Every structure is written in structure tokens, then in C-alpha cells.
Amino acid sequence: MLDIFATQYIVTALWSSTDDNGEPLDDNYNIYDISVKCLEQMKADCAKFQADNRNDIADDPSQAGHDFWLTRNDHGAGFWDGDWPEAGERLTKASKAYGEVDLYVGDDGLIYC
């Protein structure tokens, strides 16, 4: 089961990632196309980030899931861009600690991290 934070994180990941033809993954894929290992890693990252930053993100977990993906992957928007005036710097630093992750479509048609 996914909470709203993890759901939005995954939706954002699919929306902002592209396949080999440059098409957004969410045009042709959804959560059911993500490999088990990748999905488990996404869920684990989301759970840890939420646990470590619960006080800063409690008011808007959906936006926080969205911004976590964008911030950790340097997408030009995220926690630092003004929507989190009191916690943006802390949340940006926390996101960057996770490093970047790329999604790609494997030969079997599943999405991998």
C-alpha cells in the first residue's frame, strides 16, 4: 500500500522521466510497470525521508512527495523554490543526501531504477 507522499513521488518520477524516444514515461507506463526491486527502493526512500522530516512536511505530504523527487534529481524545482519558506533549505539538504536516481525501461518492458 502506498501513502499519498509515495504515490505523488512515483507519479512525479514517471512524469519527469523519459523513455529512449524522449517520451514521458507516464504517457505509456504506470506504477504497475515498475519493477518490484525499483518500487521497493522507491517506497523505502519515501518512508525514510518522511520519517526523518515528518515535522517539516506534515502539512502537505502530496507536494512533499513531488518535491522530493524533483529536488533529489536536480529538476529545476523542488523544496528550495519558495513553497517551503521555513523548511526549504533543510528539506533540500535532506533530499540531496539520497543522490540522484534515473528511471529506464528495460528490455522486458519494466521500469528500473
pLDDT in tens, 5-19: 999 999 999 999 999
CA distance 62 to 44: 17
Average pLDDT over residues 78-105: 94
Q: What's the whole-number average pLDDT of the chain?
A: 96
Average pLDDT over residues 71-89: 91
Contact status, residue 16 vs residue 9, Cβ threshold 8 Å: no
For residue 98, give the DSSP letter.
T
> How does pLDDT run across 44-77, given as a tens digit for each residue?
999 999 999 999 999 999 999 999 999 999 998 9
pTM here is: 0.94
Domain ranges of the chain: 4-112
112 DSSP β-pair partners? 104
> Which pLDDT does position 1 carry in this prediction?
82
Q: How many residues are given for the chain?
A: 113
CA distance 108 to 70: 27
